[in-house]
Amino acid sequence: MLIATVLFKLYYMQGIQIIDKTFIPYITNEELEQAIKRLATIVHNDYKGEIPVFIGVLNGVIIFMSDFLKQYKGDCEISFLQMKSYEGTQTTGNVKTLMDISMDITGRHIVLMEDIVDTGNTLYALHQLISRKKVKSIRTATLLYKPDAYKKDLNIDYIGMHIPDKFVVGFGLDYEGLGRNLPDIYQLKD
């Protein structure tokens, strides 16, 4: 049993291959779940007596948002939109809205939910888009934040974890469309 555990750990530490890139284990599912639980508690405390609308950015946010919602103990509503700024492992700097939200959010308290904030271009574009819709308030939340890559002044109200400026996959995050279903997060090997 011990040998099997050691062999599994060695195999796991070698990393995984996605197309032409190798990724090494970086953040475990347990660590992610703890960070999400902590975020859900803080957000709930801030919105006591309110019904916030959590707006997620597809596709990457899907796993974070579903786990966050399971931990959020108050009433809330959800909506999604789709934006795209990354090609492969690089940001293009050009944010496209592929799908806008369908619900009426006039007069509502909004929390914008991102899987990862890198340059901040996506979050900024999303903030601009939503603030035109006459909402009551907007706050921002992200599971992962790369402070060294961030280029915007916009405040991020809720942050799950700070990470270095390196490309990661797993837990909703992809490389060329793959890797989103990995339960842990992996970092691109140098």
Q: Which residues are catalytic?
A: 118
Which of 35, 113, 116, 182 lies at the binding interface for ligand 5GP (CB under 6 A)? 116
CA distance 180 to 96: 21
Tokens of 168: 């990661």
Q: Is 55 in the site for ligand 5GP (CB under 6 A)?
A: no
**135 φ, ψ (degrees, to nearest 5):** -85, 165
Place of tokens 């990470």: 163
CA distance 104 to 52: 13
Q: Which is nearer to ligand 5GP, 111 or 123 (CB)?
A: 123
For the CB of residue 86, give the shortest distance to ligand 5GP in the complex, in Å. Answer: 4
Q: Is 120 in the site for ligand 5GP (CB under 6 A)?
A: yes
Of 61, 23, 35, the residue nearest 162 (C-alpha): 35
For the CB of residue 4, give the shortest distance to ligand 5GP in the complex, in Å. Answer: 32
For the CB of residue 121, give the shortest distance to ligand 5GP in the complex, in Å. Answer: 4
Q: Is 80 in the site for ligand 5GP (CB under 6 A)?
A: no
How many other CB atoms sit within 10 Å of the CB of residue 68?
A: 26
CA distance 65 to 62: 5
Q: Is 115 in the site for ligand 5GP (CB under 6 A)?
A: yes
Q: Which residues bind ligand 5GP (CB under 6 A)?
A: 57, 60, 85-86, 91, 114-123, 167-169, 173-175
